[in-house]
Structure 1
Amino acid sequence: MRILVDVSHPAHVHLFRNAIGSLRDRGHAVRVVSRRKDVTTDLLDAYGIDHTPLSRKRPGVAGVAREWVGRGARLLRVAAGFRPDVVLSRLSPTAAYVARAVGAPNVVFHDTEQAGLLDRVTTPAASVVCTPAEFGRDAGDRQIRYEGYHELAYLHPARFEPNPTRLRDAGVDPDEPFAVVRLVEWSAHHDGDAAGFSPAVVRDLVERLADRGAVYVSAEGDLPAALAEHEAPVAPDAMHDLLAFADCYVGDSGTMAAEAALLATPTVRYDPYDATLANFETFADRGLVESVDDERAAADRAVALADDPEAGGRWRRRRRRLLAQKVDVTAFAVELVEEVGGA
């Protein structure tokens, strides 16, 4: 088969990278198109995945509209030349409508109930909408629910084993206590007026965590100058190794909170939305993520976990019980793509 994969965000690289490799190993031709956003193209390069950048992130509503119109036109040209049997994407309107235009089914992975407009314009054009079993919306007859999460496409034990050597090579001692802090830009279409951690709270949080061990800060966009000495020293493709050995994770990124939880790292997620997301309700019920809607309370809770020598053991037991009920999402995706494409 010929499979076209649309990747427009760093999280999509991780979601699909193992499936891309597996599909190629099984004899299929796979074409990847990308987007210059954050470290998306850097990650694809690091994993040795050939790709064609079609657009770059632009600021503001007008910039987004301009980008996606241009991206759609370029994607249509690529698809018309490649003639895919299946288009695989993560809730991408351009992929959904280009797939329909060239007569190919679009397999969409979706896990965010608050996606809003993006959801409303994409799912009606999709052929299959894959969601975690707990997903809180009904996407109709095209929806397939599976026992897993996007993050288990690359962090399932069958796909990932933390590598301490990569940390040591970057100057991080995996045997010493350290915390990871993640800050996102809050400029996505669905963020609205919400904002992440304020600079004052971040400075206080980092100072308090630094009294207990090293602190590594990962930021979407430029890291504030006051935090430059705490910039995570690892390559983007080693971030999961860093998370796996951390004693605590705290941040305003939902994706990285889920990753940390599934790596058994004590996790605090600052959630300014105070929104209902089924994945995080499950993580909360299982004791894997503590979501807090007050930034100072989130910082306090992270410091408390960093002080708790028993926290890591609790998280490892909880993770083990959760994974016993979940699937290897990459294997699921590969099987589904082949089924939809008629392989």
Structure 2
Amino acid sequence: MKVIITIQHPAHVHFYRHVITSLSEDGHDVHVFARDKDIALDLLDYYDIEHTVLAGKADSLTGLARVQATYEARLLHEAMRIRPDVMTAIGGVAVSHVAPLVGARSVVWIDNEGAQSHKLTTPLAHVICTPRKFRDDFGANHVRYDGYHELAYLHPKRFTPNPDRLREHGVNPEEPFFLVRFRQWSALHDVGQNGFSHDAKCDLVSFLADHGEVYVTSESPLPAEFAEYELPVPPHLVHDLLAFADLYVGDSATMATEAAVLGTPAVRAQSFAGADDMTNFLELAEYGLLYSTADDRDAVTKAKSLVRDADRETFEQRRERLIEDKIDVAGYATELLVQSGRGQRSSWFGQAVHNKG
């Protein structure tokens, strides 16, 4: 079976890397195409995943549209050459458009309700995969599973944090430290959204620095006042850092979810947080693993209270309950791609998938 996988974000590398390994070991012909976004290419290189870059970075909404058009045209050219059986992506705008033109089936993974880009994807996608509690209904081709994208690489079957890897880079996992993430807000689904103001960032980092080491990761270059807090580890070790952190705070949806599924106390500030928030975040809040708010000042206040009062053992127990309820998403994704590539209509269609059978 020939498979095309597309990567447009660092988290996509993590989501697919175990899937790529499993498919390749089973004898399938896997082709990976990428867009230059943040550290995505660095991660592909680190994990020794052979790939072809189809488009560069975008620095404006107009530039994003141009990059997307370039990406899609080049993907079509490559797909016509390869003639894949199945094409897959997170978000999946390009894949859903290209796959029908080359006789392939498309499998797209979505976890963010309300994104306008879904209107460009879901009408053409052959299989649309979402977490079980996803609010929207995409019809007969919609499959639901008990998990999150982040459990494709942070499920205990896939990841065990290693404190020695941190020590090699000067981080003492036994001493208090905090991880902060600031986004660039330049993706197609980010239009009209925002996270932390500059004043809130300064207040947050200043407070955390009084209580331990602070490490700041950012999509855009760090401002001069935060330079001393630059991430001490290479990108592929950020999950080890996150797992041992005493607190995560940021405006990144992906890293907030990563922190939560690792059992690290997490605070997320994004303008669309609230009662109508994405269901992943509402569910993680129900587990007591994530605090989300649209108010950056409220986020800073919550972060301060967690620094003072959070009990890590309590968060570990909450994480264990979460893992009991969820599946190994990488294994599920691999099996679904194989079935889709063979033209089989999975018995999973229209159902939730439960890890307890």
TM-score (norm 2): 0.93
Corresponding position of 1:152: 151
Per-residue deviation, 1:61? 2.8
Q: Give the match's secondary structure for 1:112.
A: coil
Distance 1:44 1:57 in 2: 16
Distance 2:33 2:187 in 1: 20
Query: How many Å separate the matches in 2 of 1:88 and 1:313?
Result: 38
Q: Are 1:63 and 2:86 counterparts?
A: no
Give the AA of the match of 1:307: R
Give CA deviations for 1:233-263 in whole Å, capped at 9, x if unaligned: 1111110000000000010111100000000
Aligned residues: 341
Aligned sequence identity (%): 48
Does 2:115 correspond to 1:120?
no
Deviates more, 1:293-302 or 1:39-48: 293-302
Counterpart of 1:208 in structure 2: which amino acid? F
Find the counterpart in structure 1 of residue 346 from structure 2: none
Q: Kindly state the Cα deviation for residue 296 of structure 1 after the two structures are TM-superposed.
A: 1.3
Identify the residue that residue 92 of structure 1 maps to in structure 2.
92
The letter of the residue matching 1:270 is A
Contact 2:10 2:37 in 1 (8 A): yes
Cross-structure match for 2:105 = 105
Residues of 2 paired with 1:184 and 1:203: CA distance? 15
Write the distance in 1 (CA, Å) between the matches of 2:193 and 2:68.
23
1:253 equivalent in structure 2: 252
Unmatched tracts of structure 2, length 5 or more: 344-357
Q: Which runs of 4+ in 1 moved over 6 A?
A: none
Q: Which residue of 1 aligns with 2:354?
A: none
The CA distance in 1 between the partners of 2:279 and 2:203, in whole Å, is 31
The 2-side partners of 1:109 and 1:194 are apart by 22
Aligned twin of 2:307: 306
Partner secondary structure for residue 141 of structure 1 = coil
DSSP 3-state at the match of 2:187:
coil
Q: Deviations over 1:13-67 (max 9, x none)?
A: 1111110011101111100000101101011111110100000122223212221
| Counterpart Cα distance in 1 of 2:318 and 2:259 | 13
Taking the aligned partners of 1:59 and 1:271, their CA distance within structure 2 comes to 20
- Residue 71 of structure 1 deviates from its aligned partner by 1.3
The answer to whether the Cα contact below 8 Å between 2:284 and 2:290 also exists between their aligned partners in 1 is yes
Q: Is the 2:216–2:231 contact (alpha carbons within 8 Å) kept by the matching residues of 1?
A: yes
TM superposition shift of 1:124: 0.9
Cα deviation code 1:180-199 (max 9, x no counterpart): 00000112223233322111
Q: Tell me the distance in 1 between the aligned counterparts of 2:67 and 2:194.
A: 24
Q: CA deviation at 1:93?
A: 1.4
- Displacement of 1:225 in angstroms is 1.1
C-alpha distance in structure 1 between counterparts of 2:190 and 2:43, whole Å: 24
* Residues 3 and 28, structure 2, Cα contact 8 Å, conserved in 1: yes
For 2:317, what is the secondary structure of its paired residue?
helix
Superposition pairs of residues 35-74 of structure 1, within 5 angstroms: 35-74=35-74
Map Cα deviations across residues 87-133 of structure 1 (whole Å, 9 max, x no partner).
011122111111111010001111000322x1000111111001000
Secondary structure at the counterpart of residue 249 of structure 1: strand
Which residue pairs with 1:229 in the alignment?
Answer: 228
CA contact (8 A) 1:179 1:306 kept: no
Which secondary structure state, in structure 2, belongs to the residue aligned with residue 76 of structure 1?
A: helix
Does structure 2 conserve the Cα–Cα contact (< 8 Å) formed by 1:86 and 1:340? yes
Deviation at 1:311, TM superposition (A): 2.2
Once residues 319 and 136 of structure 2 are traced to their aligned partners in structure 1, the CA distance between those partners, rounded to angstroms, is 25
Indicate the residue corresponding to 2:168 in structure 1: 169
1:67, 1:201 → 2: CA distance?
A: 32
Aligned letter for 2:293? Answer: V
Determine the C-alpha separation between the residues in 2 that align with 1:32 and 1:193.
Answer: 31
Q: Which residue of 2 aligns with 1:200?
A: 199
* Contact persistence 2:64–2:187 (CA under 8 A): no
Paired residue for 2:7? 7
Distance 1:127 1:225 in 2: 47
Q: Which residue of 2 aligns with 1:287?
A: 288
Residue ranges of structure 1 left out of the alignment (5+ in a row)? none
Aligned residue for 2:350? Answer: none
Distance 1:248 1:60 in 2: 32
Cα displacement (A) at 1:11: 1.2
8 A contact 1:168–1:174 mirrored in 2: yes
- Whole-angstrom CA distance in 2 between matches of 1:68 and 1:194: 20
Give the TM-score normalised by structure 1: 0.97
Letter of the 2:11 partner, please give it: A
Say whether residues 1:83 and 2:83 are aligned partners.
yes
Q: Is the 8 A contact 2:8 2:36 kept in 1?
A: yes
- Alpha-carbon deviation of 1:165? 1.5
d(CA) in 2 for partners of 1:59, 1:215? 28
Aligned-partner Cα distance in 1 for 2:128–2:49: 25
Is 1:135 aligned to 2:129, yes or no? no
Structure-2 change in CA distance of 1:231 and 1:10 (3 Å) = same
Work out the CA distance in 2 between the residues paired with 1:100 and 1:239: 37
2:265 aligned residue: 266
